[in-house]
Amino acid sequence: MPLPVLLMLSMALLAISIYAVAVARQPGGSRRVYGAALAISTLALILTLTHLLTAPEPVTLTLPLGLPWLGAHFRLDALSAFFLIVVNLGGGVASLFALGYGQHERAPERVLPFFPAFLAGMSLVVLADDAFTFLFAWEFMSLTSWALVMAHHQEPANARAGYLYLVMACFGTLALLLAFGVMAGPNGGYDFATIRAGDMSPGVATAALFLALLGAGSKAGLVPLHVWLPLAHPAAPSHVSALMSGVMTKVAIYGFIRIVFDLVSQPIPWWGGGLVLALGGITAALGVLYALMQHDLKRLLAYHTVENIGIIFIGLGLAIAFQANLMYASAAMALTAALFHVLNHSLFKSLLFLGTGAVLTATGERDMERLGGLIHPMPWTALAFLIGAAAISALPPLNGFVSEWLTFQAILLTPELPQWLLKFLAPAVGALLALSAALAAACFVKAFGITFLGRPRSPAAAQAQETDRYSLAAMFTLAALCLLAGILPGLVVDGLGPVVGLLNGEARLVAQHNQPWLTLAPIVDAKSSYNGLLVLTFMALSGTAAAFLIHRLASNALRRGPAWDCGFPDASPATQYTAGSFAQPIRRVFGSIVFQAREQVTMPPPGNGSPAKLEVKMRDPVWDYAYMPITTAVVAASTRANDLQYLTIRRYLSLVFGALVALLLGMALWR
Amino acid sequence: MHSLEFDIAHFLAGGMVVISLLLLYQDRLYALINVFALHSLALALAVGWQAYIQDAHHLYVTAGIALLFKTIFIPVALHRIIRKLGIHRTLEVVGGVGRDMLAGAALVALAILVMLPVTAGADALSREDLAFALAVVLLGLLLMISRHNAVSLVIGFMSLENGLVLAAAGARGMPLAVEISVAFSVLIALIVIGVFLFRIRERFDSVDMQAMDAFREERRR
């Protein structure tokens, strides 16, 4: 029964979109629209959660919409239920946040109508059960999110980001279209049930894998298809950024999983898994390096999304490799890790983007170099942001640690694979993953430290105010979920059981709910286990003990002294560590190779009072080597084709005539 | 199979191809229009004959339209237009009869080579008709690209359209509504083209396409 209700809820979201056109300009309009979106998302969340936990039998429904001979097929199974939870959780929290945040929107008529439609589009992608409905919903999702990216189109950077996003979205949809075309075969069975039941040749399966990598990868932000993501995600209003980064990339991953693990009936060759694994590793490492070099808070978060997509794809690549070798128990581990990270990333990335939104409302600044000291005026935002930063840095007892730990557990199972290439590749990717985890921690020490600690670097930061209750409620909901998923990982793993079973030939991890003390023991207790509750208890006890000892043994007298008093009692805030200086060591080590970073120091000669200058130049290797050649070729081709625009009418007719005769000649000779 | 009916249909359709070839080397506009009228007459007869042997009454309407509009009305209108434009005495330089005839013959051969193998399953009558119709279409296109005068362009376009109607009639008839709408669109095209011819003349003092191209070349710089 939940499927028709879910579809009706999506329709209700679309209706709210239309309603939002009418009320966008009214004073209370934004409250009403976001309130309705919140209510619908919550309802859908409860429905899907109960469906996943109680009756994971697939439900299907065919409506006489769309193509006349196909109809619109919808299906709710464990996989779509899980991703619907991600979508509706993210959508609900973003709506809650926007109840407060949306009040500050300068152009509500550009945001309100598209926001519920965007949510509906994402839900429909996940529910679609035929290629046409899937692609239609996918394009709908892309276009509505594009409209949201273009909400503040007056800024040239946003317009450029929107254009790039549109180009990449078209490219991705084209790849997916071809993927479905290849899988449907010459008989054109475009509903997923037919595709699932049909037998494919191994070549078709491989082609579908490549096309799904291109199509879903470009949406998710897989290197080298990520270029649009760090430009487009920050351009949207913050609650939409949270949705795009936290949820829409997950819908893209849903598309990949649906095609590769569900629809492709032929086993994917093992090297396909190796390819996905290698791409995931490169994406993770490059993404976090990019993120470290950013001083714009939202852009940093967007680049960091690229890293997390890499981690998820590492899990998926391992799962493909294990499945190709019929090692379903190990594949269950890898899949659980990937899906767990999907949930986790949607939680903490949304949380961080919402926190950035709160900072943006309070100060009007996104540039870290102009923030600082916000922990004093905004203590609650700072706390929520800190929890998110710790979770994304994979610190126990929060949720990020669990999924990365599971990914490492899956990597540790790879020596059992028979292929030597994978035996060597997996540890290398593991090293990249470890590197990116460490760099992520550095990245978020920088993000939190520069933004919230120290002293304000601009008057705007000095006059910041704590954000409103709705925003805080949204952030703390997510923070609480981060903590819960971290200390009760067994419940999440059990909830993921039906999803993993669906994708993995009914093989799943052992049930965790009867493990003692909420321990997570994916294989056997003796081999590896993790207990978030224990870690939390230990941290709480040792923290309390340390605080107690310090307060007991140290002097009680409260002292307030000037900070940074190294001979300059009234040093300006500019003498603090900056975001740039924080990233400098890592830029020296990695950036000089990866980004060809070049630093140039200009020292004024003695006697000259002008300040010294440090210039850093960086190049994006992906842009330089992958995109510039394409751009150059397109420009060159269109310059040449431009001549065709100024022909005389006889020349045009001659062209038509020549083409016709050539085609007929070809036809006559061919036969 | 080779009955009298088939022979007559074959004759009329083949006659259209021959008249299309005739169109190619008419260097006087009056003669061109008159030959076009003959072309349309042949079309009307061919379609009428098809209507008779297929016993398809709506094709009589098609034939009537061809006779009324394309054989009488359009040629008369074009006569008036060129007299008003004062170009009825101009000679159009045609590229050379030999060259045009060779190109035309090659196109006819191509049309037959393409059509006959493709339509192997159909009956002989419609196969021949389709091959001839394609030849007429190709010859019309050739006429359009080998002429400079705008009026000749119009004639080329109309003869091309005649080829399409021939194809449709041969292929067991197309719905009458389609045929009528095509006929009206051709008429409207004639009106629009006629208006344009006068407008073009007003601006450029000529309906020679080359003269207009010269203006375009200047604008382009």
Q: A599-640: per-residue pLDDT in tens?
A: 888 888 888 888 888 888 888 888 888 889 999 999 999 999
Of A262-266, A279-283, A381-385, B32-36, the range with the lowest mean pLDDT is A262-266
pLDDT, average across residues A281-295: 92
The pLDDT value given to residue A644:
81
pLDDT, average across residues B3-10: 84
Mapping DSSP to helix (H, G, I), strand (E, B) and coil, where does residue A75 land? Answer: strand
pLDDT top residue among B17 and A643: B17
CA-to-CA distance for A576 and A325, rounded, in angstroms?
A: 55
The pLDDT value given to residue A396:
84
User: Given an 8 Å threshold on Cβ–Cβ distance, is B114 in contact with A668?
Assistant: yes
Backbone angles phi, psi at A562, to 5 degrees: -65, 135
Q: At B39, is the pLDDT very low, low, confident or very high (cuts 50, 70, 90)?
A: very high
CA-to-CA distance for A94 and A88, rounded, in angstroms?
A: 10
Of B182, B213, B201, nearest to B90 by C-alpha is: B201
CA-to-CA distance for A290 and A303, rounded, in angstroms?
A: 6
Q: What is the dihedral of CA A256, A261, A266, A270, to 10 degrees?
A: 80
The pLDDT value given to residue A570:
61
8 A C-beta contact, residue A404 and residue A308 = no
pLDDT, average across residues B3-15: 87
Q: Scanning the structure block, which residue is given the tokens 């980001």?
A: A161
pLDDT top residue among B54 and B23: B23
Q: At B175, is the pLDDT very low, low, confident or very high (cuts 50, 70, 90)?
A: low
The pLDDT value given to residue B195:
67
> Best of B108, B114, B152, B196 to disrupt the A interface by mutation (most A CBs within 10 Å)?
B114
User: Given an 8 Å threshold on Cβ–Cβ distance, is B209 in contact with A649?
Assistant: yes
pLDDT, average across residues A525-548: 87
CA distance A631 to chain B (A): 27
Question: Which value does ipTM take for this structure?
Answer: 0.80
User: Given an 8 Å threshold on Cβ–Cβ distance, is B110 in contact with A664?
Assistant: yes
Per-residue pLDDT tens digits for A128-165: 999 999 999 999 999 999 999 999 888 889 999 999 99
User: Is B183 at the interface with chain A, CB within 8 A?
Assistant: no
The pLDDT value given to residue B218:
53
Check pLDDT > 50 for residue B16: yes
Q: What percent of chain B has pLDDT over 90?
A: 12
The pLDDT value given to residue A473:
95
| DSSP H or E stretch at residue A417 | none
CA-to-CA distance for A78 and A7, rounded, in angstroms?
A: 16
User: Given an 8 Å threshold on Cβ–Cβ distance, is A664 in contact with B142?
Assistant: no
User: Given an 8 Å threshold on Cβ–Cβ distance, is A650 in contact with B209?
Assistant: yes
User: Is A659 at the interface with chain B, CB within 8 A?
Assistant: no
Check pLDDT > 70 for residue B184: no
Domain locations in chain B as residue ranges: 4-220
Check pLDDT > 70 for residue A96: yes
Per-residue pLDDT tens digits for B144-161: 888 877 788 888 888 888
**Whole-number average pLDDT of chain A:** 89
CA distance B80 to chain A (A): 25
| DSSP H or E stretch at residue A88 | helix A78-101
Of A73, A77, A97, nearest to A2 by C-alpha is: A77
N-to-C CA span, chain B: 63
Q: At B174, is the pLDDT very low, low, confident or very high (cuts 50, 70, 90)?
A: low
User: Is B209 at the interface with chain A, CB within 8 A?
Assistant: yes
Conformational region of residue A393, where left means phi above 0, alpha means psi within -120 to 50, and beta covers everything else: alpha
User: Is B213 at the interface with chain A, CB within 8 A?
Assistant: yes
Of A164, A162, A141, A140, nearest to A235 by C-alpha is: A162
Q: A-contacting residues of B 116-145, CB under 8 Å?
A: 117-118, 134, 138, 141-142, 144-145
Check pLDDT > 60 for residue B219: no
Q: At residue A33, what is the residue type?
A: V
Check pLDDT > 50 for residue B221: no
pLDDT, average across residues A555-578: 70
Nearest to B145 among A646, A654, A668 (CB): A654
pLDDT, average across residues A199-225: 90
Check pLDDT > 90 for residue A85: yes
Q: Which residue of A has its CA nearest to B149?
A: A650
The pLDDT value given to residue A529:
83
Helices (H), chain B: 4-24, 29-54, 58-65, 74-85, 97-118, 124-146, 150-170, 176-204, 209-220
Check pLDDT > 70 for residue A566: no
Check pLDDT > 60 for residue A37: yes
CA distance B57 to chain A (A): 34
